[in-house]
């Protein structure tokens, strides 16, 4: 193996692991930082009545710097960086399979929906939107629908395909593969929330438990990178 080939072998896992951690970290910051800075803002409430939305709107601050929207968009960009490495992982282990395309499409659509959700969230921060409860509701419904079930379900395609290939080829730890397959199933079931309010419970399950999977994948990639680096040095 040449020095250039060794460097490429080390660079891919490092970038993928960093992107996976950044996806989770930036999303966590988008949820936590606005509260730490004392920002009060009405969260999307698609199943609430107009009166409940108006009450939350009256208690919110407007004209704020949309910090949450910024970090959510950063999270989406990190996810989009991770996607081609996930697709390459699948393509390299099952050449000619349609699963690599499923990973690519699911990841890109999921990341794009999260960017759209962040953009709509930015719009909802504007004082002119807050002046009309029906307009505010329409915008926050868009925030919810793009950043919730469709985002989570399409990301489930990526997680499920990677986990399936990892299990089939033994390329990932068995527990991580089964974990990923369960997450993928839960993520896909979250689409039922478009018809039944009770199914919204699957949205945070798919999202946040899925983030644990991303962190676990990052840890595996990083440990293997360190092992490869040690072998190269020897």
> Residues 149, 32, 127, 58: is their CA dihedral positive or negative?
positive
Joined together, the tokens standing for residue 94 give 């099952």
Threshold 0.75, pTM exceeds:
yes
- Residue 10 has a pLDDT of 52
Query: How do residues 114-140 score in pLDDT, each as one tens digit?
Result: 999 999 999 988 888 878 888 988 998
Residue of 12, 4, 6, 2 lying closest to 231 (CA atoms): 6
Query: How do residues 192-212 score in pLDDT, each as one tens digit?
Result: 999 999 999 999 999 999 999
- Residue 225 has a pLDDT of 64
Whether residue 171 has pLDDT greater than 50: yes
Whether residue 8 has pLDDT greater than 60: no
- Residue 202 has a pLDDT of 97
CB 144 within 8 A of CB 190: no
Classify the phi-psi angles of 140: left when phi > 0, otherwise alpha if psi is within -120 to 50, otherwise beta.
Answer: alpha
- Residue 183 has a pLDDT of 98
Whether residue 229 has pLDDT greater than 50: no
Whether residue 83 has pLDDT greater than 50: yes
Who wins on pLDDT, 10 or 180?
180
Whether residue 111 has pLDDT greater than 80: yes
Helices 67-93/3-36 angle, 10° precision: 150
Measured CA to CA in angstroms, residue 74 lies from 58, 62, 194, 210 at distances of: 29, 22, 26, 18
Mean pLDDT of the chain: 88
Residue of 172, 226, 221 lying closest to 21 (CA atoms): 221
Joined together, the tokens standing for residue 117 give 């959700």
Token look-up 């593969």 returns 177
Q: Where are the alpha helices (DSSP H) in the chain?
A: 3-36, 50-58, 67-93, 99-124, 127-130, 133-147, 149-169, 174-189, 202-204, 210-233
Whether residue 9 has pLDDT greater than 70: no
Joined together, the tokens standing for residue 63 give 């004209």
Mean pLDDT throughout 148-159? Answer: 97
Residue 234 CA to residue 225 CA, distance in Å, equals 14
Query: How do residues 54-76 score in pLDDT, each as one tens digit?
Result: 887 777 777 777 899 999 999 99
CB 203 within 8 A of CB 152: yes
């Amino acid at each position: 193996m040449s020095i250039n080939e060794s460097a490429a072998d080390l660079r891919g896992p490092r970038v993928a692991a960093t992107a996976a951690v950044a996806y989770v970290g930036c999303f966590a910051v988008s949820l936590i930082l606005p509260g730490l800075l004392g920002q009060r803002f009405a969260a999307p409430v698609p199943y609430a009545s107009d009166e409940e939305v108006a009450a939350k709107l009256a208690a919110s601050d407007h004209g704020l710097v949309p910090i949450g929207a910024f970090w959510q968009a950063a999270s989406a960009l990190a996810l989009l960086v991770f996607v081609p490495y996930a697709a390459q992982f699948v393509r390299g282990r099952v050449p000619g399979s349609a699963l690599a395309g499923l990973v690519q499409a699911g990841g890109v659509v999921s990341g794009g929906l999260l960017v759209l959700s962040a953009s709509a969230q930015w719009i909802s921060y504007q004082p002119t939107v807050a002046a009309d409860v029906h307009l505010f509701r329409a915008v926050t419904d868009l925030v919810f629908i793009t950043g919730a079930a469709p985002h989570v379900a399409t990301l489930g395609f990526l997680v499920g395909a990677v986990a399936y290939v990892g299990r089939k080829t033994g390329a990932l730890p068995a527990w991580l593969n089964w974990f990923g397959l369960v997450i993928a199933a839960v993520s896909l079931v979250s689409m039922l929330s478009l018809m039944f309010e009770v199914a919204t419970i699957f949205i945070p399950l798919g999202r946040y438990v899925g983030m644990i999977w991303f962190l676990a994948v990052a840890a595996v990639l990083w440990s293997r990178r360190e092992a490869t680096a040690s072998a190269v040095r020897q």
